[in-house]
């Protein structure tokens, strides 16, 4: 569903007027940076979860790409809240994007002639995945190597790798891909992070080959503060997949999504109890829902 208005370079314009020249730099070379933020319908409706953290990541990504955003973090946070208000909506996704438009088509982004754009749009998308545990496959293609990009930045170019992985596993009728890094360890889903549970101990791939920010940090914090569990950040090899009881994906879009099975490159299938009512995954899913919907008082300050 389309939003009615977007903020484009600080102007509020009708969505249909927000068009771009086909000869624009980011469209051709993938050098845009963006965020993907959830707006939740709460009792003090609507609220944005971890808005400042998302905008700080947008600034980090922009710095990595040498894109100089002409606004401050506070200004962009205010603009996001403004767009939500202006569209009069409840539960949506916000998409701030910083991209290069027309002016010059050489590769250098430092060319003063290139136009830099900052847009904030939003659209309705209630749930990215089903509530049921999903079936996951390790694709042939590996996660982009950390030596070739900055894995902590949300750069459009990095998502070409995510698209290839998703297409590969969708053609094999699986719900999602689980990418290995170039050393053969488990990295992440094309746009979410992963956790595993074994005997009430929780593990997640270490930083370096993943985008590690918002939901992963929330889940690590909540395991620690609410369940007294210290999450262990380790390298996880696919040969160890059979040792775990539960597995789940986390991210802004997927929130906490239980994994029912993972099929490895040798077509061996490992099944998990993540979807059971008494599982730790279900417990975390409920806590995350309470936090994002403003019913867990200690986390209210995360909502704007």
Q: Which residues are catalytic?
A: 154
- Name 153's Cβ contacts closer than 8 Å, sequence gap at least 6: 33, 57, 60, 61, 64, 65
Rank residues 114 and 177 by Cβ distance to ligand PMP and give the closer one: 177
| Interface segment toward ligand PMP; rule CB under 6 A; list 1-9, 127-135, 191-199, 286-294 | 191-199
| Two tokens, residue 173 | 């009728």
- Name 304's Cβ contacts closer than 8 Å, sequence gap at least 6: 47, 48, 51, 52, 77, 81
Exactly one of 193, 273, 281, 282 binds ligand PMP (CB under 6 A); which one? 193
| Interface segment toward ligand PMP; rule CB under 6 A; list 97-105, 125-133, 209-217, 229-237 | 209-217
Whether 133 and 246 have beta carbons less than 8 Å apart is answered as no
Exactly one of 121, 252, 261, 274 binds ligand PMP (CB under 6 A); which one? 252
Instruction: Check residue 284 for interaction with ligand PMP (CB under 6 A).
Output: no
Instruction: Check residue 248 for interaction with ligand PMP (CB under 6 A).
Output: no
The H helix count followed by the E strand count for the chain is 6, 17
CA-to-CA separations, 281 to 61, 187, 237, in angstroms, rounded: 31, 19, 21
Instruction: Check residue 213 for interaction with ligand PMP (CB under 6 A).
Output: yes
Consecutive H or E run containing 83: helix 73-87
Instruction: Check residue 36 for interaction with ligand PMP (CB under 6 A).
Output: yes
Exactly one of 174, 191, 223, 272 binds ligand PMP (CB under 6 A); which one? 191
The residues that touch ligand PMP, with contacts defined as CB under 6 A, are: 36, 188, 191-193, 211, 213-215, 251-252
């Amino acid at each position: 569903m389309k939003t009615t208005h977007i903020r484009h370079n600080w102007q509020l314009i009708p969505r249909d007027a927000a068009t771009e020249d086909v000869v624009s730099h980011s469209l051709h070379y993938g050098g845009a940076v963006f965020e993907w933020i959830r707006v939740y319908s709460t009792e003090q409706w609507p609220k944005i979860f971890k808005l400042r953290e998302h905008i700080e990541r947008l600034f980090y990504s922009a710095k990595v790409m040498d894109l100089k955003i002409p606004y401050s973090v506070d200004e962009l946070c205010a603009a996001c809240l403004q767009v939500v208000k202006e569209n009069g909506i409840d539960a949506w996704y916000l998409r701030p994007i910083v991209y290069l438009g027309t002016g010059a088509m050489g590769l250098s982004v430092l060319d003063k002639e290139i136009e830099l754009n900052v847009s904030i749009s939003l659209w309705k998308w209630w749930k990215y995945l089903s509530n049921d545990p999903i079936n996951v496959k390790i694709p042939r293609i590996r996660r982009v190597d950390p030596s070739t990009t900055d894995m902590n930045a949300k750069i459009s170019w990095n998502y070409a790798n995510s698209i290839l992985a998703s297409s590969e596993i969708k053609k094999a009728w699986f719900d999602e891909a689980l990418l290995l890094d170039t050393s053969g360890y488990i990295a992440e889903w094309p746009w979410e992070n992963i956790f595993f549970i074994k005997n009430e101990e929780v593990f997640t791939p270490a930083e370096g080959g993943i985008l590690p920010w918002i939901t992963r940090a929330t889940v690590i914090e909540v395991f620690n503060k609410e369940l007294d569990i210290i999450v262990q950040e380790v390298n996880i090899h696919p040969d160890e997949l059979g040792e775990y009881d539960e597995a789940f994906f986390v991210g802004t879009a997927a929130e906490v999504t239980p994994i029912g099975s993972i099929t490895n490159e040798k077509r061996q299938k490992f099944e998990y109890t993540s979807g059971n009512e008494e599982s730790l995954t279900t417990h975390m899913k409920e806590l995350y829902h309470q936090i994002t919907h403003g019913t867990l008082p200690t986390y209210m300050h995360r909502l704007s």
